Amino acid sequence: MAELLLDREVSPGEGIVTVLEQAGIDHVFGMPGGLTGRIFDALYDHASTIRTVLVREESRAGVMAEVYGRLTGRPGVAIGQGAFMVHSSLGAIEGHMASSPMLLLADLSDNAPFSHHGPYQAGTGEYGTWNAPQAFGGFTKAVFVATSPEQAVQCTQLGIKHALAGEPGPVAVLYHSSALRGRVGPQSRPALYATGSYLSPRVARADADAVAQAARSLAAAERPVIISGNGVRIARAYEELRAVAEALGAPVATSAAGKGTFPETHELALGTYGNFGTALANAVIGEADVVLAVGSKLAPTDTAFENPQLLDPRRQTLIQIEVEPRNAAWTYPVAQAILGDAAQVLEQLAGELRAPGLVSVDDRSRRSAALQTARGKHGFFDVPEYRSDAAPILPQRIIRELHEALPPDATLTCDAGENRLFMTHYYQTRIAGGFLQPAGVGAMGYAIPAALAAKVVAPGRPAVAVCGDGGFAIGMNGLMTALEEELPITVVVFNNAALGWVKHGQGDRNIACDFREFDHAAIARAMGCAGVRVEKPAELRPALEEAARSSLPTVIDVVTSLSQTFQQVTSPLNAAPR
């Protein structure tokens, strides 16, 4: 039987915060403003269970909420005043594209009952106002507008429900001024029930016959391969993925969005495939006869714009695991689509593959030997630039130092731009869940708030943001939050005084892509952080080790060469005839 949410009358803000608490949400990110101050007032009384993280600009809150949702599976909450919460779109669009559960809470700043008289700030969409529901509707799964105290509470519950249901994503709840006034309680109508009553149950097991059929197809394949997408991260299906790969003896590649879902130090790892993937991953996938795609939409940038030399349903059997039915066979026709949560389906599939006689030791040994042969032919995280002593420092040398200096459990967060392409291609992940990037929409300014959120979620693990100097300029106010919240992240800046991807793409017609030279370490020290300027390769390792020991946020500003370009990590398949 359903229980009531409240046993006494409280403010709508208290009701909203009680809902968050019941949903297991233990952090919110944002800035007080307008009538959201009433929700913050309630958060004051729940400080022991919900940590309120103050940001200096709402886009940082959006990114932190997106990463919180991606890492925990619970909706990340960004909260702030009306029009200014539109800034949270930096993270919310990423969440919308990358299926991260999020909850955006904002007021309409409508000042009722005067909102129809020369309104100021109001977002109701009426004459003279801006249309907040329409604006937020452009980058969320759903928008709820609450106009009464009861709706304020219940719409928050429904927002959490919809953020988690099916394919996760961001949901906006907008509060009319009348919704944040008055009282709610056990006599409210509509009645307010405990939050758990509204949340979707765990996804049921996938169809057993479909899983068994997929297992038989994979076991019988001569050259099976697995593609792991971001859906594996959303489902936190790391161990289940590994179990399937090892039971089958099949190599695993990740999409760009899925990088970090399978350790690239594993004996079955291929690295990232696609436009900026490794030669090994693209070659092995191109030669596969059966391909299992897990939690991946098989987007054009993953598939070298659907180059048939990489994936081709006319010569390959494609099996796709998807939680959202509309995403199955979206890009390619598939021989078999299995609908369900990635962790649940992979667990079932691993059980089938372990059945006696289905996959032999010889099968696994043969596939392992073929992979080692392919690594010898195509290479595997072994380019000579890793050891270059050139100055300015090559990106590959920076990346190798990161790989060797950081502890295995470090979480790396990337920004947008050429630096992210280098990291995607050259950085070798060591644990599942240790690498995050904005591969859904690719927004600059992502790395620093993403690292802050990673540190919030896992305080005991090092969090390292890797960004270019362009991304650092956008996101550096996150260092103020890092200081205030005592989150000692490390920020590594690839400082080449340019928007590298833009500059190299323009060829000899450079415009609006060059920066003055800035000492970002000095800027960090002026804020109160630690800051180190690195100009020679030998200085990198000591700087990273010192940052790991520091109790302060640390910026390592690395003078980086412009000699390396995105063309060097662009797959030849992008230029192949189609």
3-state secondary structure 92-130: HHHHHHHCCCEEEEEECCCCCCCCCCCCCCCCECCCCCC
> Is 204 exposed, middle or buried (CB count within 10 Å of its CB: 0-12, 13-18, 19+)?
exposed
Q: Residue 568 and residue 310: Cα distance in Å, rounded?
A: 19
- Is residue 300 located within the same domain as residue 212? yes
- Is residue 286 located within the same domain as residue 241? yes
In the block, tokens 């550096």 appear at: 476
Q: Residue 547 and residue 491: Cα distance in Å, rounded?
A: 9
User: Residue 576 domain-assigned?
Assistant: no
User: Residue 249 domain-assigned?
Assistant: yes
Edge-to-edge strand list for the sheet holding 252-254: 269-272, 252-254, 224-228, 290-294, 317-322, 336-339
Number of domains into which the chain is organized: 3
Of the residues 197, 230, 259, the one at which a domain ends: 197
**273 CB neighbour count, 10 Å cutoff:** 32
SS3 399: helix
Q: Residue 449 and residue 64: Cα distance in Å, rounded?
A: 5
- Is residue 263 located within the same domain as residue 332? yes
190: cis peptide before it, omega within 30°? yes
With residue 254 as reference, give the H or E element that holds it.
strand 252-254
Q: What is the CATH number of the domain that holds 224?
A: 3.40.50.1220
Q: Which two tokens stand for residue 400?
A: 């190798």
- Is residue 552 located within the same domain as residue 449? yes
User: Residue 62 domain-assigned?
Assistant: yes
User: Residue 362 domain-assigned?
Assistant: yes
- Is residue 165 located within the same domain as residue 218? no
pLDDT the model gives residue 240? 98
- Domain assignment of residue 366, given as a range: 208-378
Of the residues 197, 217, 247, the one at which a domain ends: 197
113: cis peptide before it, omega within 30°? yes
- Is residue 328 located within the same domain as residue 459? no
Q: Where are the beta strands (DSSP E) in 358-409?
A: none
User: Which among 89, 92, 90 has a CA at the least distance from the CA of 76?
Assistant: 92
- Is residue 42 located within the same domain as residue 63? yes
- Is residue 371 located within the same domain as residue 389? no
**468 CB neighbour count, 10 Å cutoff:** 30
Find the Cα–Cα–Cα–Cα dihedral 393, 399, 404, 408, rounded to 10°: 150
Mean pLDDT by 10 residues, the chain (578 residues): 92 98 98 96 98 97 98 97 94 96 97 86 93 97 97 98 95 97 96 91 82 97 97 96 98 97 98 97 98 96 94 97 94 95 96 95 95 97 97 98 96 96 97 93 94 97 97 97 98 97 96 96 98 98 97 98 96 73
300: cis peptide before it, omega within 30°? no
User: Residue 50 domain-assigned?
Assistant: yes
Evaluate whether 325 touches 339 at the Cβ level (below 8 Å).
Answer: yes
> String of b and e for 415-437 (b: at least 16 CB within 10 Å)?
bbbbbbbbbbbbbbbbbbbbbbb
In the block, tokens 């009952």 appear at: 113
- Is residue 364 located within the same domain as residue 394? no
Q: Residue 11 and residue 184: Cα distance in Å, rounded?
A: 6
Q: What is the CATH number of the domain that holds 69?
A: 3.40.50.970
Q: Residue 396 and residue 55: Cα distance in Å, rounded?
A: 33
pLDDT the model gives residue 578? 47
Evaluate whether 412 touches 464 at the Cβ level (below 8 Å).
Answer: yes
Task: Name the β-bridge partners of 491.
Answer: 465, 555
Phi (first) and psi of residue 498, to 5 degrees: -165, 160
- Is residue 416 located within the same domain as residue 371? no
- Is residue 547 located within the same domain as residue 405? yes
Q: How many Å is the Cα radius of gyration of the chain?
A: 25
User: Residue 411 domain-assigned?
Assistant: yes
With residue 78 as reference, give the H or E element that holds it.
strand 76-80
List CB contacts of 347: < 8 A, sequence separation 6 or more: 240, 243
pLDDT the model gives residue 202? 64
List CB contacts of 362: < 8 A, sequence separation 6 or more: none
- Is residue 45 located within the same domain as residue 186? yes
Task: Name the β-bridge partners of 490.
Answer: 464, 554
> Is 505 exposed, middle or buried (CB count within 10 Å of its CB: 0-12, 13-18, 19+)?
middle
Task: Name the β-bridge partners of 102.
Answer: 76, 170
> Is 313 exposed, middle or buried (CB count within 10 Å of its CB: 0-12, 13-18, 19+)?
middle
Of the residues 343, 358, 378, the one at which a domain ends: 378
List CB contacts of 460: < 8 A, sequence separation 6 or more: none
User: Residue 314 domain-assigned?
Assistant: yes
**389 CB neighbour count, 10 Å cutoff:** 10
Q: Residue 351 and residue 345: Cα distance in Å, rounded?
A: 10
User: Residue 188 domain-assigned?
Assistant: yes
